[in-house]
Structure 1
Amino acid sequence: MASIVQFENVGLRYGTGAETLSDLSFSLAPGAFYFLTGPSGAGKTSLLRLLYLAQRPSRGLIRLFGEDIVTLPRHGLPALRRRIGVVFQDFRLVPHLSAFDNIALPLRVAGAAERDIIAPVSEMLDWVGLADRARARPATLSGGEQQRVAIARAVIARPEMLVADEPTGNVDADMANRLMHLFEALNRLGTTVVVATHDVQLLSRVSAAQIMRLERGTLNDPTGALRFPPRASA
């Protein structure tokens, strides 16, 4: 597959207002790492919503895993969504499930046997520093702990693409570094990673990452043909 994502002249409008995103044309390569940056209100979250199929564009073409999602029947969307891990800015944990069961959810949805769930979920809890909080429900967790559970849930099934909206916004610097190492490890296994962030310090932590910058709903390439060549290592 030449690209895992392809946008051609994509626009997004909510209601009858002005377009939130305009004339986006770009492709994302399989196994690449991208940072999505830009000021507040630039449209980063809206672009992520298009990537993880929470929103369809108002115009233009989007291909994801080779499928045209604009014309794809609604019943075909769940299968594509299962190939994507998502870290939401507001976490979206299931309130009545423990941290363990929230993280295990993608594996159970995929049909994994219970005997095959315990070890990877326990390992992930340990990685994000929550081994002693496995049975805690979201309401008893701090914001940073909920963020770590949300990230663990997003990566547990080794998705083909990971989309993360401000994934380090509620954790300290040491945990932010640890989480970025987790994203890098997943990326090395072949997952395409897209991280939206305001934290400019993150941009230097992944030497192979490519940077996409949104300004007022458009990417900062007037040719509309962004391919984001890798940045030089520091």
Structure 2
Amino acid sequence: MANIVQFENVGLRYGTGTETLSDVSFTLKSGSFYFLTGPSGAGKTSLLKLLYLAQRPSRGVIRLFGEDAGALPRQRLPGFRRRIGVVFQDFRLVPHLSAYDNIALPLRVAGVQESDIEAPVREMLAWVGLTERGRARPPTLSGGEQQRIAIARAVIARPELLVADEPTGNVDPEMAERLLYLFESLNRLGTTVVVATHDFHLLHRIPNAQMMRIEHGKLSDPTGVLRNPPGQS
């Protein structure tokens, strides 16, 4: 499989403080599924921000889709980002848009005809169990419902790379497994998936998933096929 992501000695520093990430090097294979684990404050969210181009590294090289992301001209960034689906920990739904319109947003930005939007949006609403909530606006939805809408929005355009920051943190265990199955289904269609999670119970739900663990801003384990997560035998 080709490499979809390459980090080479990447460091990230906010302001003049110490580095949040130090000498991070890894490769993600196209079409693979990865879990990113580690304690709170270890640098998981910062690493994900680099993956979806919300942050530039302080040093090192990041290659996405075979290109040096740091050398991309500004006008190419929007098109590049459309190839990446993101599930944010704080959802980032547009509050004045309905759930339906939030999910449809990536398709509209990509120029999909309105006649081709309704069916996939309805399918996503059904998949996340919110068929009857399509007209509801985010402020009227529970945290779990907002999370499901955010996930549906992230996957509807079948991105080449999906990055999810604690995507099951606001849903019950049954829905968490259902959403994980959605990620797995997308992965089977060729999308590379990276899921940051604290929930070790989810780690064995995906056959051949690989794990990266980050501690104190460094990757502490090499990427490999996930066998036994910490605390399990």
Which category describes the TM-score, using the shorter chain as reference length?
over 0.9
Aligned to 1:70, the other structure's residue is in SS state helix
My pick for the range that moved more, 75-84 or 153-162, is 75-84
Q: CA deviation at 1:232?
A: 4.8
Q: Which residue of 1 aligns with 2:89?
A: 89
Q: Which residue of 2 aligns with 1:120?
A: 120
Q: CA deviation at 1:207?
A: 2.1
Aligned to 1:26, the other structure's residue is in SS state strand
Q: CA deviation at 1:76?
A: 1.5
Q: How many percent of aligned residue pairs carry the same amino acid?
A: 76
Q: CA deviation at 1:89?
A: 0.2
Q: Which residue of 2 aligns with 1:141?
A: 141
Q: CA deviation at 1:82?
A: 0.2
Residue identity matched to 2:36: L
Aligned counterparts of 2:208 and 2:113: Cα–Cα separation in 1 = 36
My pick for the range that moved more, 31-40 or 70-79, is 70-79
| 2:179 paired with 1:203 | no
Q: Which residue of 2 aligns with 1:35?
A: 35
Aligned counterparts of 1:176 and 1:62: Cα–Cα separation in 2 = 31
Q: CA deviation at 1:9?
A: 0.3
Q: CA deviation at 1:75?
A: 1.7
TM-score between both structures, scaled by the size of structure 2: 0.96
TM-score between both structures, scaled by the size of structure 1: 0.95
Q: 1:38-77: per-residue Cα shift (whole Å, max 9, x none)?
A: 0000000000000000000000000000111112122221
Q: CA deviation at 1:2?
A: 2.3
Q: CA deviation at 1:138?
A: 0.2
Residue identity matched to 2:10: V
Q: 1:92-119: per-residue Cα shift (whole Å, max 9, x none)?
A: 0001100000000000011111110000
Aligned counterparts of 1:74 and 1:60: Cα–Cα separation in 2 = 19
Equivalent position to 1:229, from 200, 212, 224: 224
Aligned counterparts of 2:63 and 2:74: Cα–Cα separation in 1 = 15
Instruction: In structure 2, list runs of 5 or more residues that go unmatched.
Output: none
Moved segments of 4+, more than 2 Å: 228-234
Alignment of 1:1-234 (within 5 A): 2-221=2-221, 226=222, 228-232=223-227
Aligned to 2:89, the other structure's residue is in SS state coil
- Check the 8 A contact 1:163/1:194 in 2, yes or no: yes
Aligned counterparts of 1:17 and 1:229: Cα–Cα separation in 2 = 32
Q: 1:158-217: per-residue Cα shift (whole Å, max 9, x none)?
A: 000000000000000110010000000000000000000011111111121100000100
Instruction: In structure 1, list runs of 5 or more residues that go unmatched.
Output: none
Residue identity matched to 2:202: L
Aligned alpha-carbon RMSD (Å): 1.3
Aligned counterparts of 1:8 and 1:76: Cα–Cα separation in 2 = 22
Number of equivalent positions: 229
Aligned counterparts of 1:115 and 1:153: Cα–Cα separation in 2 = 18
